[in-house]
Amino acid sequence: MKHHTLPVSPETVHWGYFSKEVAPSLTVRSGDRVTIETLTHHANDDHERMVAGDPGAESIFHWTREHKAMPRRGAGPTEGPFTLGSGEGIGVHLLTGPVAIEGAEPGDVLEVRILDVRPRPSCNACYRGRCFGSNVAASWGFHYRDLIEEPKPREVVTIFELDTSGEPFARAVYNYVWTPQTDPDGIVHRTIDYPGVEVDHSLVKKRENILSNVKVPARLHFGTMGLAPKELDYVSSNPPSYTGGNIDDWRVGKGARMYYPVAVEGAFFSVGDPHAAQGDSELGGTAIETSLTGDFEFVLHKKNDLGGTILEGLTHPMLETDDQWSVYGFTFPNYLAELGPAGQIEVAQHSSLDKAMRDAFRKLRRFLMTVHRLSEDEAIALMSVAADFGVTQVVDGNWGVHGSIRKNVFVGAGG
């Protein structure tokens, strides 16, 4: 077993997409461990607190009229003309990787163990040792067309500070309503429509003393994590799918094990979209988007060895913790195959919790029947009395429902 380190830099980060065509940032063997730095794509909501003085963040977010460190920001075309910028915003998340796994082949399953997660402190001398994150009530949020106060509609950014001196929690520092921002290329962004635009704080009105009697328990986790799909060379990071991606489940943190079906040779694992805290549904559009560093262990399970294990028949992401297993249902289990290349955009037009719930039910039924050898009637009875279904997210285009079953319902289950 070797321990590797993967810091953030323009050479180790790709912005807004999963890809089987990007050269791996690192190649490891099954059993290796990797310390991986991740950055939030929302750091420029408060450049002073989350970017300034941080060499890694500054190298990623550097953008002037003369030089844009990360020109491709999404799974869109690399040749213009552009309306919003290169990539056209089809995919938004900063992802570190890909990490290639030696010997990984289609049909295998990659187990990703999250051994530890820790915040990335501010490097600005004014805030040294403190950590910050951004929550955005955005145009893609579930609430956006259902506002009752003026002005309507509006997008609101709330900056949080993360206290890590003891039991970690977050407190709101201030918020502001998004006002049009002009990027270094002269494009005006009237809404939050392109990742990494630095907010000019002279153009926004900060509102302080907000959520003054509230502290939010930290749930450090990675919102977007998974493998490269096989269907396209560049796939938007926004909608989750059968190889993982933007699942946005706060349980994918320290101590969790995620299992992903391998679709391409090498697996090509990428991780990002780090969160300090999030509730089920991520209703407003984002979590507390912060920057995190994680320690990961990779275990490759070969397809011929899956029978008789919890991975038998697995064709979708699955979470394991000490207490439970969770499967993830989506509106479209594999929107790329079902909708074709245009699905990256069109999937959001078809979002449905009914379909996501149906998919979660089917996946958990298969798990109980295949892994635990229950009959269909037994599986349905057990799901009704002991399984928990929840809304994972309603903001990622391909809406999600998770279905969880506790391990202690199985007598003698070893976990």
Who has greater pLDDT, 85 or 74? 74
Output the CA–CA distances (angstroms, integers) from residue 152 to 25, 139, 395, in the order listed.
44, 11, 19
Q: What is the pLDDT of residues 17-68, one digit of tens each?
A: 999 999 999 999 999 999 999 999 999 999 999 999 999 999 999 999 999 9
Who has greater pLDDT, 89 or 160? 160
* 258 has a pLDDT exceeding 50: yes
- Residue 190: both structure tokens together: 């009237």
Residue-averaged pLDDT of the chain: 96
3-state secondary structure of 243: coil
**Model pLDDT, residue 415:** 47
**Secondary structure (DSSP) of 14-77:** EESEEESSSPPSEEE-TT-EEEEEE--TTGGGGHHHHTTT-HHHHHHH-B-SS-BS---BSSS-
**Model pLDDT, residue 413:** 55
Nearest CA to 131 among 296, 295, 293? 293
Model pTM above 0.85? yes
Contacts of 166 (CB under 8 A, 6+ apart): none
